[in-house]
């Protein structure tokens, strides 16, 4: 029986050939019958000729654009390692009968936990108190000047209340905060269940004591956090972004933080990644920064990997995988034919 061939983008391996993320367990693929798994060369964007003889691709951080689509027409699924897909040309996938799959179950809890980490670190002034403790006597003498902020009764706001946003609110329940969110696509039943008041965009910025970004990067959300909206925030408010950097006008955020117009920010994502060490934002003492990796834990990567592997094996069996982004591909005859062919060969 012909093999089902799975490609992994080259950034899943280090230069010495060892796995970049050992917690990504490939055993279910490596032990599956009729499956061959191959690492691609470490190039980005991927080239179409690299993928000509593959049925599935598991994609880490490399870009997949129109030039990445193989002319063979064989590729059926791109399984993105994570939930962000701004590195993938979605329309090119759909046009060529390729399902784009993400891993919401793998990142839901880890990213929500990272948001809670920022909330507690910012309001507890953890970074400042760490420095004070290292100063000895003078630091201890100054500790009363750096009082933290209690959470009871404070307003936790979210720009977006989907998979991760809803999980963030679930985890924050014991803090006895008031929950608000703005999301034109919000599931009203979920919002009601979690006690979230859905508000306008302007109200979200004006009312939140802690404002978190939990929406995807799209043309509509690019720079949705801008100078005008940041100006609505309370001077005591904190801003947190663990989603995507370009959702925020970073220069506007930098000015607001420089001028102490808000209390501080927790940032795991930036408009330019990797960051420029000389970026004025990184010189500020009222931010906590992480290199787009705060949610990176053994459990997060194990969960993402398991979800991608399952999606690929589902496609091999002729079944629809979970987490399809371009849902319209499901009704395309070319994609249906691919699934039917796999079902006959491997199902």
Q: What is the pLDDT along the chain (347 residues), one digit of tens a residue?
A: 469 999 999 999 999 999 999 999 999 999 999 999 999 999 999 999 999 999 999 999 999 999 999 999 999 999 999 999 999 999 999 999 999 999 999 999 999 999 999 999 999 999 999 999 999 999 999 999 999 999 999 999 999 999 999 999 999 999 999 999 999 999 999 999 999 999 999 999 999 999 999 999 999 999 999 999 999 999 999 999 999 999 999 999 999 999 999 999 999 999 999 999 999 999 999 999 999 999 999 999 999 999 999 999 999 999 999 999 999 999 999 999 999 999 999 98
Q: Which of 270, 289, 308 is the last residue of a domain?
A: 289
Same domain, 239 and 171: yes
Give the residue from 267, 133, 156, 138 showing the smallest Cα distance to 207: 156
pLDDT at 2: 66
Q: Which of 240, 266, 289 is the last residue of a domain?
A: 289
Distance CA 57, CA 75 (A): 8
Same domain, 77 and 114: no
Instruction: Please give the order of strands across the beta sheet that includes 99-101.
Output: 35-39, 4-8, 56-59, 77-80, 99-101
Same domain, 187 and 329: no
User: Domain span at residue 52?
Assistant: 4-102+298-346
Same domain, 63 and 133: no
Q: Inter-axis angle of helices 163-172 and 104-123, to 10 degrees? A: 50
Give the residue from 181, 176, 142 showing the smallest Cα distance to 165: 181
User: What's this model's pTM, rounded to 2 decimal places?
Assistant: 0.90
The answer to whether 206 and 232 have CB atoms below 8 angstroms apart is yes
The residues annotated with a catalytic role in the active site are 244, 273, 292
- 244: alpha, beta or left? (left if phi > 0; alpha if psi -120 to 50): beta
CATH assignment of the domain containing 27: 3.40.50.720
Helix (H, G, I), strand (E, B) or coil at 131: helix
Q: How many domains does the chain have?
A: 2
Q: Buried (b) or exposed (e) across 87-96, using 16+ Cβ within 10 A?
A: bbbbebbbeb
The structure tokens listed for 73 are: 């027409």
pLDDT at 347: 85
Same domain, 185 and 148: yes
């Amino acid at each position: 029986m012909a093999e089902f061939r799975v490609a992994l983008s080259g950034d899943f391996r280090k230069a010495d050939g060892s796995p970049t993320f050992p917690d990504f367990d490939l055993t279910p693929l490596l032990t599956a019958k009729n499956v061959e798994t191959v690492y691609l060369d470490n190039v980005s964007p991927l080239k179409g000729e690299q993928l000509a003889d593959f049925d599935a691709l598991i994609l880490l951080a490399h870009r997949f654009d129109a030039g990445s689509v193989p002319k063979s027409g064989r590729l059926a699924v791109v399984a993105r390692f994570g939930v962000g897909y701004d590195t993938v040309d979605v329309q090119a996938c759909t046009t060529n009968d390729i399902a784009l799959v993400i891993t919401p179950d793998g990142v839901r809890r880890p990213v929500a936990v990272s948001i809670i980490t920022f909330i507690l670190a910012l309001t507890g002034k953890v970074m400042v108190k760490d420095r004070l403790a290292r100063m000895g006597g003078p630091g201890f003498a100054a500790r009363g000047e750096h009082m933290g902020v209690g959470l009871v009764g404070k307003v936790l706001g979210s720009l977006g209340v989907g998979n991760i946003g809803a999980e963030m609110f679930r985890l924050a329940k014991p803090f006895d905060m008031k929950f608000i969110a703005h999301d034109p696509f919000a599931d009203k039943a979920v919002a009601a269940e979690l006690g979230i008041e859905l508000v306008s965009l302007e109200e979200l910025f004006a009312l939140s004591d802690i404002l978190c970004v939990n929406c995807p990067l799209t043309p509509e959300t690019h720079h949705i956090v801008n100078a005008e909206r940041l100006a609505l925030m309370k001077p005591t408010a904190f801003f947190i972004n663990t989603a995507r950097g370009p959702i925020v006008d970073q220069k506007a955020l930098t000015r607001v933080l420089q001028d102490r117009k808000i209390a501080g920010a927790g940032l795991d994502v930036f408009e330019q990644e990797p960051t420029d060490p000389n970026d004025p934002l990184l010189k500020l003492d009222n931010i906590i920064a992480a290199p787009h990796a705060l949610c990176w834990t053994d459990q997060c990567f194990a969960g993402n990997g398991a979800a991608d592997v399952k999606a690929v094996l589902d496609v091999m069996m002729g079944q629809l995988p979970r987490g399809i982004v371009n849902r319209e591909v499901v009704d395309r005859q070319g994609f249906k034919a691919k699934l039917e062919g796999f079902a006959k060969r491997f199902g």
